[in-house]
C-alpha cells in the first residue's frame, strides 16, 4: 500500500512518540477512493475464509469495514460504545480502557446479530494497545463464534496490541506497519 | 424506496409511540447492498448541487454517508461526539441533547476540514427531534460554508426535527417518512 504510506507521510501528524493523528484520512475525514482501495485489499486477503459477518467497533473503523462487507457480500455489525435508552438488554458487553480517550467505555454487541455459527472478520482502522480489539474478541468468543482474523489499516508495532492478539493465535493483517514515531518522523516497517 | 419500507416493517421494532428500533438495518447491523442502493438514491437527488463535502455525525450515519461521498466523488467528514486526547483545540463545537441517549454531548468538527467555500451535503440515518442535526447545521453556518441540503434515510414526521430544519430554509430529503408508530404499527406517509 504505497499510496497509503504516502498519504500518512503527507497528512499524518506526529503528536508524540506514541500518538499519530490521522484525522485527515481515517479518524475524522475519509477519502472514499482510498478507503475503497484499502477495503478491497483487506477483503482479498480473507476472501477464502467463508466469512459470514464483518464486525468493527464504532466509529473510525466503520467506513473501511463497510467496504470489506460490501466486497464480501456479508452484513456489517458495528459494536456500540456505552448504553443508550433504545439499546436492548440482550447484549454481550465488555468494559475496555481507551488509550486515545483516557476513559473507560463499555462496548456492546446485541446477541441478535452474533451467533455461534458466525465466521467473523474483525476490521478496524488502527491497532495500538488493542484494548477495544481484545474486548470485541472476548465478545466474539463468548458468543461461540469463529474469529477468522482481523484486518487493520495501520498497525503501530511499537505498542503491544497487535502482538498480544497474534499471541492468542489470531491472524492479524495490517495494510501498513509503523515501527516508530521517534523524532517526529513516521518510520514504516518493511 | 419500497424495499426499505419492507425491511422496516419486517425488522424494525416499535418500542413505543416515539421510538422505533432499527438496529437490524441502520443502527447496529448494516446490509451493504441496501445501504448502497439508499446512498445512490440520496446522491442522485443532490448530484446537480456542486457538493464539495459530505458531512454526518458519528456513528450510524457513517455507512450511508460513505456511499453518498463515494458516489459524488467527494470527501466525507464525520463530526465527532465528545473530546478525545488526540483531538485538537482547533474545532467548532456545539452542545446538543440526545433523544436516544438521554444525555448531553458535544459534537465537534475540526476547522481543518470545513471551510467557507465548502458546499456541504449533510447525510444522516434518522431524523427525529433533530438536536444533533441542528448542532451540525450551526457548525456549518459558523464556518461560513454553504449547506446545500440534508438527506436522511428515515424521517419521523411526528417529531419536530425535520419540520424545524425545513423552516430554516434547508432542503431536506428523506427516503421514507414515518407518520406514526401508534398501536405498535409503523405507518408511512405517502
The grid cell for B157 is 414526521
Q: For position A85, what pLDDT does the model report?
A: 46
Question: Is B132 within a domain?
Answer: yes
Residue A178 belongs to domain with CATH number: 3.40.50.2020
* Under 8 Å between Cβ of A140 and A149: no
Name, in order, each residue with C-beta under 8 angstroms of A153's C-beta and a sequence gap of 6 or more.
A4, A26, A38, A64, A124, A125, A126, A174, A175, A176
Q: Is B143 on the interface with A (CB under 8 A)?
A: no
Confidence of residue B158 (pLDDT cuts 50, 70, 90): very high
**Among the ranges given (A74-88, A122-136, B91-105, B169-183), the one the predictor scored with the smallest mean pLDDT:** B91-105
Q: Give the predicted TM-score (pTM) of the model.
A: 0.94
How far is the C-alpha of A164 from the C-alpha of A151, rounded, in Å? 15
- What pLDDT is recorded for position B112? 94
The x, y and z cell numbers of residue A75, run together, are 452484513
Give the ipTM: 0.93
Measured CA to CA, the distance from residue B82 to residue A117 in angstroms comes to 36
Asked if residue B90 belongs to a domain, the reply is yes
What is the Cα–Cα distance from A5 to A9, expressed in whole angstroms?
Answer: 6
Show residues of chain B in contact with A109, CB under 8 Å: 28
Whether A190 is covered by a domain: the verdict is no
Domain membership flag for residue A187: no
Q: Inter-chain contact A100–B85, Cβ cutoff 8 Å?
A: yes
pLDDT of residue A88: 53
pLDDT of residue A91: 72
Chain B residues close to A29, C-beta within 8 Å: 75-77, 113
Rounded to 5 degrees, what angle do the CA atoms B180, B185, B190 make? Answer: 50
B101 chain-A contacts, CB cut-off 8 A: 82, 84-85
Tell me the C-alpha distance between A84 and A39, whole Å.
30
Tens-binned pLDDT, residue by residue, of chain A (190 aa): 999 999 999 999 999 999 999 999 999 999 999 999 999 999 999 999 999 999 999 999 999 999 999 999 999 999 998 754 444 567 787 777 766 556 677 889 999 999 999 999 999 999 999 999 999 999 999 999 999 999 999 999 999 999 999 999 999 999 999 999 999 999 999 8
Residues with Cβ within 8 Å of residue B48, at least 6 apart in sequence: none
| Per-residue model confidence (pLDDT) at position A101 | 57
Q: What are the backbone angles phi and psi of residue A36, rounded to the nearest 5°? A: -65, -45
Total domains present in chain B: 1
Instruction: Specify if B188 maps to a domain.
Output: no
Look at residue B187 and tell me if it is in a domain.
no
Pairing of strands B146-156, B119-127: parallel
- Residue-wise burial string across B140-165, b where 16 or more C-beta atoms lie within 10 A, e elsewhere: beebebbbbbbbbbbbbbbbebbebb
Give B118-136 pLDDT, tens digit per residue: 999 999 999 999 999 999 9
Kindly state whether B102 is in contact with chain A, defined as any CB-CB distance less than 8 angstroms.
Answer: yes
Between B106 and A20, residue with greater pLDDT: A20
> Quick check: A7 contacting B, CB < 8 Å?
no
DSSP element (H, E) containing A158: none
Domain range holding A149?
A: 2-182
Instruction: With beta carbons less than 8 A apart as the criterion, state whether B178 and B156 touch.
Output: yes
**Does the residue B114 lie in any domain?**
yes
What residues form DSSP beta bridges with A151? A123, A173
In a domain, B45, yes or no: yes
**Percent of chain B beyond pLDDT 90?**
84
Judged by a CB distance cut-off of 8 A, whether residue B80 touches chain A is yes
Q: Tell me: the pLDDT tens digits for A65-116?
A: 999 999 999 999 999 987 544 445 677 877 777 665 566 778 899 999 999 9
Q: How confident is the model at residue B94 (pLDDT cuts 50, 70, 90)?
A: confident
Which pLDDT value is given to residue A90? 72
What pLDDT sits at residue A104? 76
Within 8 A of B27 by CB-CB distance, chain A residues are 86
Q: What is the dihedral of CA B113, B33, B125, B42, to 10 degrees?
A: 70
User: What pLDDT does B100 receive?
Assistant: 59
Amino acid at each position: 500500500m504505497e499510496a497509503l504510506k504516502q498519504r500518512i507521510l503527507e497528512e499524518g501528524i506526529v503528536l508524540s512518540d506514541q500518538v499519530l493523528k490521522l484525522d485527515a484520512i481515517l479518524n475524522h475525514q475519509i477519502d472514499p477512493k482510498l478507503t475503497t482501495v484499502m477495503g478491497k485489499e483487506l477483503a482479498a486477503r480473507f476472501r477464502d475464509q467463508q466469512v459470514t459477518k464483518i464486525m468493527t467497533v464504532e466509529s473510525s473503523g466503520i467506513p473501511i469495514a463497510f467496504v470489506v462487507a460490501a466486497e464480501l457480500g456479508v452484513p456489517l455489525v458495528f459494536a456500540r460504545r456505552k448504553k443508550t435508552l433504545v439499546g436492548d438488554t440482550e447484549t454481550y458487553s465488555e468494559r475496555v480502557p481507551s488509550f486515545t480517550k483516557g476513559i473507560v467505555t463499555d462496548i456492546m454487541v446485541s446477541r441478535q446479530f452474533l451467533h455461534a455459527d458466525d465466521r467473523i472478520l474483525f476490521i478496524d482502522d488502527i491497532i495500538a494497545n488493542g484494548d477495544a480489539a481484545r474486548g470485541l474478541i472476548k465478545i466474539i468468543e463468548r458468543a461461540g463464534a469463529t474469529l477468522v482474523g482481523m484486518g487493520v489499516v495501520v498497525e503501530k508495532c511499537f505498542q503491544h496490541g497487535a502482538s498480544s492478539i497474534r499471541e492468542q493465535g489470531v491472524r492479524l493483517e495490517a495494510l501498513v506497519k509503523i515501527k516508530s514515531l521517534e523524532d517526529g518522523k513516521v518510520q514504516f516497517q518493511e
